[in-house]
Amino acid sequence: MQVSDMLEEIVKRIQSRLGGSLPGIEAHRKAMPADRDPGPRYQFDKLPNPRESGVLILLYPELSEIHFPLMLRQDYGGVHSGQVSLPGGRKEDFDASLIQTALRETEEEIGVPAGEIEVIGELSKLYIPPSNYLVYPVIGYVRQKPVFREDPREVRELFTVSLDQLMDENYLKVTDIPVRNQVFENIPYFHFNDQVVWGATAMILSEFAQILKEV
């Protein structure tokens, strides 16, 4: 099967699967410390006026596989600076939806035109307590490998991950992660491209991996 045909088939299966109930918290737990109570993250009606953001898992064909990009953010002193994330960011007043936010931010950060991205659907929303963000993960795709143009103010490094890697549980590991003046112990993370992908990004990818395994 040609990779373009493979992409179309996977897109159809993902769309169909997203029409049902999502794994949500159970999939997120795989990328969450075992001793952490996830409950407060999902009590959305009790959140302290959270800021909304949209992020994008952007699928595209390359050689014989399907990939998506991740970005190492510049170290600007914020809560999530210097960490690996999906492209995306805060919803602005002029955004008509969180989907539009994810597409706009993707174009701004890594240069893929929003108009070329076809939206497949959305994963479970996720609250990030340290930054008070409520994140809406969107899945989209383009039919050819895009020409990435990273914004150097936002992106220190761009790298890509294949769907086969994401579904391979050998890439999910546990380590201690130093953050500023403290160390978080026994943190699950994905080890991609010699980078530590942890926190909300790992939780979102854990749910997407579960979806892929089911389809």
Is 135 within the bounds of a domain? Answer: yes
Give pTM, 2 decimals.
Answer: 0.95
Domain count of the fold of the chain: 1
Is residue 94's pLDDT more than 90? yes
Share of the chain above pLDDT 90, in %: 78
Is 104 within the bounds of a domain? Answer: yes
CATH assignment at residue 104: 3.90.79.10
pLDDT tens profile 159-177: 999 999 999 999 999 999 8
**Tokens, residue 104:** 């706009």
Is 187 within the bounds of a domain? Answer: no
DSSP 152: T
> Pairing state of beta strands 182-192 and 65-73?
unpaired
Q: Domain range for residue 78?
A: 3-164+198-214
Is 106 within the bounds of a domain? Answer: yes
Q: ∠ CA(159), CA(54), CA(39), 5° rounding?
A: 105
Range of 1-5, 19-23, 33-37, 38-42 with top mean pLDDT: 19-23
Is 190 within the bounds of a domain? Answer: no
Is 185 within the bounds of a domain? Answer: no
Is 181 within the bounds of a domain? Answer: no
pLDDT tens profile 100-139: 999 999 999 999 999 999 999 999 999 998 889 999 999 9
